Amino acid sequence: MIITIDGPAAAGKGTLASKLALKYNLTYFDTGMVYRAVGLDVVLQGKDPNDEQSALSVAQKLTFPRIMELSKHQDFRSAVGGDAASKVSAIPSVRAALLQMQRDFALNPQFSDGRKASGVVYDGRDAGTVICPQADVKVFITASSEVRAMRRFKEFQQKGLTITYDEVLAQTRERDERDASRSSAPMKPADDAVIIDTSDMSIDEVYKKVCDIIESHKKILEK
Ligand code: DC
């Protein structure tokens, strides 16, 4: 089974996708990590993430072990990593270079310890539209920019990062704008995705709603 969870930053995709993966015994693929790895690698080389040649040369050599290595860096999940990821992800040639590794994962899904999995929960922006248009269940989750900025702000505070709410809100809006307006695979719901606005919902409510969607899908398959 393939499930895609797409949507803007801090909509709650990661928490939802990992809970679903656990419940249905599927592996979880956070595709944002692919772009964060490229963006951070470019920044660590002292180059500009808007520079196509620098980003493309990193993207063409990217491997899963390299992503895991970079994910341990302090800036991988920080605003620096997020901003660099958003910039490299707007470059069409970079997206093209990273597409196959994301698609191939569904052909031979594995857990992080190497065990074979029966399917994948993708978390991203274009999982349902570009990476896996054949997915069984597609969900697009969103929330107002204020609610998402507040969630990110609290995460940053817990990690001890010094940043104000207004700065996080400005970054959230800037990233939304870039993700939605890029020419290649702009962030948008697939035509057959269920759209859920989580602004006034708890994570448990969202989780329950998506589980119901998956269960109805399974019933249709069994008929
Ligand atoms: O989900 P995230 O915050 O880790 O994503 C980081 C950036 O990567 C985000 O600004 C958009 C980009 N991204 C993308 O363009 N396509 C994906 N499938 C996943 C992430």
For residue 35, the CA-to-ligand 1 centroid distance in Å is: 6
pLDDT given at position 125: 93
Give the SS3 label for residue 139.
Answer: strand
Q: Give the ligand 1 atom nearest the CA of 6.
A: 18
Overall fold of domain 2-222? Rossmann fold (3.40.50)
State which residues of the chain have pLDDT below 70: none
Please tell me if the CB atom of residue 77 comes closer than 6 angstroms to any atom of ligand 1.
Answer: no
pLDDT given at position 15: 93
pLDDT given at position 183: 82
Helix, strand, coil distribution of the chain in percent, nearest 5: 55, 10, 35
Residue nearest to atom 15 of ligand 1 (CA): 89
Alpha-carbon span 60 to 65, nearest angstrom: 14
For residue 11, the CA-to-ligand 1 centroid distance in Å is: 12
Domain range list for the chain: 2-222
Whose tokens are 């409510």? That residue is 205
pLDDT given at position 134: 96
Burial class (CB in 10 A: 0-12, 13-18, 19+), 194: middle
For residue 219, the CA-to-ligand 1 centroid distance in Å is: 32
Please tell me if the CB atom of residue 179 comes closer than 6 angstroms to any atom of ligand 1.
Answer: yes
pLDDT given at position 150: 96
Alpha-carbon span 128 to 134, nearest angstrom: 8
pLDDT given at position 109: 96
Output the CA–CA distances (angstroms, integers) from residue 149 to 39, 63, 79, 81, 168, in the order listed. Answer: 21, 31, 12, 16, 6
**Which among 218, 129, 122 is positioned nearest to 179, based on CA atoms?**
129
Q: E strands along the chain, which residues?
A: 2-6, 27-30, 120-124, 137-142, 194-197
pLDDT given at position 220: 83
For residue 213, the CA-to-ligand 1 centroid distance in Å is: 25
Q: Give the ligand 1 atom nearest the CA of 175.
A: 10
pLDDT given at position 205: 97
pLDDT given at position 84: 96
Q: Give the ligand 1 atom nearest the CA of 90.
A: 15
210, 16 in Cβ contact below 8 A?
Answer: yes
**C-alpha neighbours within 13 Å on the C-beta side of residue 159:** 15
Please tell me if the CB atom of residue 151 comes closer than 6 angstroms to any atom of ligand 1.
Answer: no
